[in-house]
Amino acid sequence: MNKAVVLAGGMGTRMLPATNNINKHLLPVYSSEGAVPMIHYPIKTLVKSGVDEILIISSREHCGKIIENLGDGKEFNANFTYKIQDTSKGAIGIAGALKLCKVFTGKDSFAVILGDNFFEDNFEQEFKNFQKTNKWASIFIKEVENPNQFGVFSDGYIEEKPEVPKSKFAVTGMYLYTNHVYDVTKNIKPSGRGELEITDVNNHYCKKDSIQVNTINGFWGDMGTPESMIKTQEFIKNEHYTLFGE
């Protein structure tokens, strides 16, 4: 699998007021080489997992700055393509953003990663294995202490931010799909908050027994809140994690 999509849109409301005038995914995050934009870390995960063709989706307001920062991808040993997600009528959700990827991915399987997610591990083997299975989707779960803040995987189903979680396994912000996903997104209806939810896409595959579930061993951080950003930066610093190091 050599294609992937980085989702770097959204409103960044959980990081206000820092995101009043800047895309969340360009906020500085600690690295051993100095501060780097948040989005560098998920891109690193993809490249170390064997991806070299990356589509980056951002909002109309911030796409220019993201392009200015990331360029054509040479710095990352990859080729970057960009697409604008028009949020002028409000956020359309992760599943809505997937509808913008079809021309880029074509008939190929591809990875999707959220631009605020940090993974210690690389997933080269999981990416390769997915193409050998008969599954249409793959999710990555991690045991956490605060599962009620995430989608929770339990008994073959995902429950979004449950008050009483049935397990401690959070669904992280990385997914693998075949091109069948575009048939699924056609039929997804907006949720109560008016978005096309990726959980609905993944639960479609759960019901069909067509999803692969991978458990993450290493550190995972969702840097979408100040608290989780601090926790992630502490890991990077204390474990001497390097952006492109082995």
Domains of the chain listed by start with CATH number: 3-238 (3.90.550.10)
**Could you read off the pLDDT of 175-218 as tens digits, one per residue?**
999 999 999 998 888 887 777 889 999 999 999 999 999 999 99
HEC-encoded secondary structure of the chain: CCEEEEEECCCCHHHCCCCCCCCHHHCEECCCCCCEECCHHHHHHHHHCCCCEEEEEEECCCHHHHHHHHCCCHHHCCEEEEEEECCCCCCCHHHHHHCCCHHHHCCCCEEEEECCEEECCCCHHHHHHHCCCCCCEEEEEEECCCHHHCEEEECCEEEECCCCCCCCEEEEEEEEECCCHHHHHCCCCCCCCCCCCHHHHHHHHHHCCCEEEEECCCCEEECCCHHHHHHHHHHHHHCCCCCCCC
**Could you read off the pLDDT of 82-92 as tens digits, one per residue?**
999 876 655 57
**47-56, 84-93, 174-183, 225-234 — which is least confidently predicted?**
84-93
Please give the model's pTM, rounded to 2 decimal places: 0.94
Please, which pLDDT band fits residue 246 given cuts at 50, 70 and 90?
Answer: very low
Instruction: Report the pLDDT value the prediction gives residue 244, as an integer from 0 to 100.
Output: 63
